[in-house]
Amino acid sequence: MFEQTGVDGIMIGRATLGNPWIFEEIISYLKGEEIRPITPKEKLETILNHIAWEVEEKGENVGIKELRKHMSAYIKNMPDATTMREKINKIETRKELETSLKEYFTSSRI
């Protein structure tokens, strides 16, 4: 769009949900660099940090419930995402959420 229409900027919006790396990818693209894929390990580390921040900010009860939609976005289009989403939507504690995600990301299907 920069070349075709001469726009000064772009809006990213919902594309950031579950994909905070989009900014790094856009910068790489605009610089003509290769876009580096995010590894499952990096994705898991980001998710665990997100959980820690949310629980610190909102407390475990509210935070875990609010995180459900974010966790679903992070695993969108990954193997067995539907099954994992169903599991996440029943989780009530930080420990259970972190354990389930660690198991999911270290399984052979990822």
User: pLDDT, tens digit, for every residue of 58-95?
Assistant: 999 999 999 999 999 999 999 999 999 999 999 999 99
Q: What is the dihedral of CA 23, 29, 30, 33, to 10 degrees?
A: 120
How distant, in Å, are the alpha carbons of 5, 24, 53, 77 from that of 1?
Answer: 5, 18, 35, 27
97 and 61 in a common domain: yes
57 and 30 in a common domain: no
pLDDT for the residue numbered 43: 96
Q: Is the pLDDT of residue 34 over 90?
A: yes
30 and 48 in a common domain: no
What secondary structure does DSSP assign to 46-61, as a single string?
Answer: HHHHHHHHHHHHH-HH
Which CATH number does the domain housing residue 63 bear?
1.10.1200.80
Instruction: Print the domain residue range for 98.
Output: 40-106
16 and 30 in a common domain: yes
84 and 55 in a common domain: yes
57 and 21 in a common domain: no
Dist CA 47 CA 97 (whole Å): 10
Q: What is the pTM of this model?
A: 0.86
59 and 89 in a common domain: yes
In this structure, what are the phi and psi dihedrals at residue 108, rounded to the nearest 5 degrees? -70, -15
Domain count, the chain: 2
Q: Is the pLDDT of residue 11 over 80?
A: yes
87 and 52 in a common domain: yes
Which residue in this structure is represented by tokens 């995402």?
81
Mean pLDDT of 19-42: 94
pLDDT grade for 2, boundaries at 50, 70 and 90 = confident
Mean pLDDT of 13-33: 93
